Structure 1
Amino acid sequence: MSAESQPDRDPAAETGPEASLDEIRGLMRGLPGPDEAAAEKARAREAELTKPAGALGRLETLAEWAAAWQGRHPARAERPRVAVFAANHGIAARGVSAYPSTVTAQMVANFQRGGAAVNQLCLTHDAELRVYEMALDHPTNDFTTEPAMGEADVATALAYGMMAVEEGVDILCLGEMGIGNSTSAAALAQALFGGEARDWTGPGTGVEGAAMAAKIAAVEAGVALHGPAIADPFDALRRLGGLELAAITGAVIAARMGRVPVILDGYAATVAAAVLHAVDARALDHCVVAHRSAEPGHARLLEVLDKQPLLDLGMRLGEGSGAAVALGIVKSALACHAGMATFAEASVSGPAG
């Protein structure tokens, strides 16, 4: 499956007037909660389906989760979107990745041609793939010497990510592409949740030895420089994050406001969403995590977020691939919930009573 790509441009050109972090902070004070009436309808139907109670395990709770956050019963997955945000990082110049920054644009071209793993997974699960290029010729600053982004940059990136939640999209899968972003994610996670740099830093694209030591050192240096000055989680994102990570954060906010359930991909995408958890522990209730990445920091982060991933396949590719695989599970859950017969419809005896 080829991708519909948003051409490489400054996100500010897409968001109109300069966005403000204070406006984003204001949105966090008005996040809608789940639709309890829709959730109750899902629970009531689940109890009448032709199976023992609980026999479909998490497929049952996924159907209820989707209904609660779409605000309707039954929930639907008729127009799922896989949104992949791509950007470059100044930290990559410190040799923290096994690949050069030019690979980001090369992989975007691969998405457009239909040659990446996520293309095949979207085709398999009948999902729309959108790739959002974010100023690939203008990487963020090296966060070991200065903030990765200015306030206007991070605010417009957040607003740009919100644009992925368009009318009619009913499930949103979020992923990223950006050489150096697992280093940025590790630094952001440490700044938000504490611990040591080595707790959050993994091989990413496959670094080891001296490159791994350089990666840990970059995370340590970035957190040491910015940690004392961080005002709040959004400021941590500005100082240590990236354009694509900020866009994912924005997309998660917009999905909550628009009642669109979210499937998060791997480590970098989950860290981007975790910025919101650091603001409000309920902010990710409309999200599920697709899989436990092979990046060691991801397991630690999932414990912090109290999220049980749907899959554990040893994946660490990024690009929304794990979220696209998990979409198949969510679609299976919704199909069973809506399509199965009830005991009465099938003339099957219910539980003895």
Structure 2
Amino acid sequence: MAQMTSHKISVHHLGEVSHASFPVVHAFMHDVQAVYFGPQDNRCLSRIRQQVHGRTHYPDTHVVPYCISAHNEEFVERQESRVNCLQMAPARLDAFLADPDCQVSAPTYLSVALQEQAYEILNSAPKTLTRNVVAVSAEVWFLPMVQGGKRYQDVSDLLAGYGFAVENLEAQQGPDAVHGAGLALLFKKPERIIESHPHAALDLLKAAMLAILHSRVDLAHSYLDAFETLSSWHTLGPVLHRPGYLPFLARWRHAMQSYAQVYALPFPELYSPRDAYGQVDMSCSMLEGDEALFGVETLLADIGLEQLAHTLRNLRHAQLQA
């Protein structure tokens, strides 16, 4: 099975490319692997590739010819007096990742933009959800479209069994006035990552970065607390001296701890929630020494946490005047 031994955050998206919910972060272009799934039909794959490469994308981006599903499909074609039935057995996510020829890493962040199939797809990937995924974005129905169909509560209950908790739920336009739709964002609890992930320390750092990108600063703080119970920043070695999200997290952590020694900061009240589904520009230099504090503030502002960055600047000024 594909393993998450790399420092890269692996983002897997199932569904329409235009519904992909993960932002493009220009400062971290070499820290993310993006994977899109499509059918084995060449025309469909070509269209998906054009959609993916026609917009800003990460260099390590893959469009794979696997139609991930949770059950077998039957296609019926009627031609005059003849009826043709084609039986198809699409790959399950766990089976796809277990293939020895799989060229992508297991997902850190799983995006499912298939409202009517979200529950079934997630339910068919128990190993991946247990060992690899730290965050899930799923389009859901509030009322099932078909009899026996799964709704939002079913999806959230399923993921709760793997240690996920709902962090955000946004309403979306449904197909009619009766059946409401939404986008649910769920993060795995730190203790479950420690309990079930083979590379728990690294996955906690990935979860912290994902939490910051989705304006969940207090959640990021809890992931970093858990990381420091397992490991230390020194174990990351040379990677801390190269641009990327890991040195950003180390400096962000240092800044927050420095301020917390002077002020008791209620983290949830220090940031303004932001829609993280567009492109995010974090292009700025990584600074050394004491100036790293200013670098952290700049990075926070660039990813949309302006209120938190402003508060940190004021506290830093007060600290210097003390």
What TM-score comes out, normalization by structure 2 length?
0.34
What TM-score comes out, normalization by structure 1 length?
0.32
Structure with larger RCO (C-alpha < 8 A, sep 6+): 1
- Which one has a bigger Cα radius of gyration? 2
